Amino acid sequence: MNPIFYAFAFLLFIAVVLGIEGLYQWWNSHHGPAARRLDQRIRALSAGANVQAERLSILKERMLSGSAPIHALMMRIPRIQTIDRTILQSGLNLTVGRLVTHSVVAVTVVLLAAGLAPVHVPTLVTALAGVVAFVFPTLRMLRCRSKRLRILERQLPEATDMISRALRAGHSFSSALGMLGDEFAEPTAGEFRIVFDEINYGVTLNEALMNLATRVPVRDLRYFVIAVLIQRETGGNLAEILDNIASLVRARLQLFDKVRVLSAEGRLSGWILALLPFVTAGAMQVVNPTFFAVLWEDPAGLQVVEMMLVSMVMGVLWMRRIVRIRV
């Protein structure tokens, strides 16, 4: 065949390979693991309180939404940075815009399912399902945040001991933070790695520790930050101070576990009392489907359902307040 044809085919093959490689490099630089880690690190650093205003405004555009109109709309919401900091504390790869999008999509799916259902769905049931679908992404985020903060609280004594051992071995405090960020378990390692990076970027140690206390609202961690800041002002044996803090945190966690065991019966009773009406109503609906029809067909029945739900919510909140003992 013509050599020109072979040359054209070879060059076409090279062009296709280079095009695919270029698309892969573009995708990896914007959406790959390294890009996601860099974006999460930048968002984490922007969540601190002590950042210049110009730099903070630039980081907020990445932090809130990738769309300029949505970003401009969200910037009008009061305390929007607090909401984003709460999302960041959950450890999820979310932004405020994504969270709102998930909530809106969930409500849309519920409304479409209710409208396309083969049987008529009562308006009250549809409204309740829509409310649950709207708040579900937020509740999931808050649950992940609570779980992550509990892990941070549990890991704090071991992290404090590790810093104390590093200080006794002759390392500086900033070097001990770097060792903790490299060798300790997540999520504590990630938070202290951010502190170490802020120090390397030129932020003072006091400001980096204050940013840590702002990002992680754990009471024992704030005691750690306060102790270190006081020691830097007044002097003293920092390793011994950290050992005392670790012992204090361990004792408090042991007391908390003991209180949690003693209050387990009350929490179980609360769950049973909250779920029993729904389980009983479901069983009766299966046995006699027409028994509860009056509740959503008669206006008085709807009022009874509304009063029942309000009373149940108040009772659940009251029981939760009783069994939730702060240590």
DSSP string, 146-210: HHHHHHHHHHHHHHHHHHHHHHHTT--HHHHHHHHHHHSPTTHHHHHHHHHHHHHTT--HHHHHH
Q: How far is CA 188 from the centre of its chain?
A: 14
Between 82 and 51, whose confidence is greater?
82
CB atoms within 10 A of CB 165: 15
Per-residue pLDDT tens over the stretch 249-289: 899 888 888 888 877 877 788 788 888 888 888 888 778 87
Enter the pTM of the model: 0.66
User: Using an 8 Å Cβ cutoff, are 271 and 312 in contact?
Assistant: no
Paired tokens of 134: 């709207």
Q: How far apart are CA 194 and CA 211, in angstroms?
A: 10
pLDDT value for 61 = 44
Q: How far is CA 152 from CA 147, 156, 219, 253, in A?
A: 9, 6, 11, 12
- The burial of 178, by beta-carbon neighbours within 10 Å (0-12 exposed, 13-18 middle, 19 or more buried), is given as buried
Check residue 91 and report its DSSP letter: T
User: Using an 8 Å Cβ cutoff, are 220 and 235 in contact?
Assistant: no
User: Using an 8 Å Cβ cutoff, are 183 and 276 in contact?
Assistant: no
Per-residue pLDDT tens over the stretch 178-222: 999 888 988 899 899 989 988 888 888 888 899 898 888 888 899
DSSP string, 18-86: HHHHHHHHHHHHHHSHHHHHHHHHHHHHHTSS---HHHHHHHHHHHH-SSHHHHHHHTTSTTHHHHHHH
Of 76-80, 138-142, 308-312, give the lowest mean pLDDT range: 76-80
Phi, psi of 103 (to 5 degrees): -65, -45
Q: How far apart are the first and last CA of the chain?
A: 85
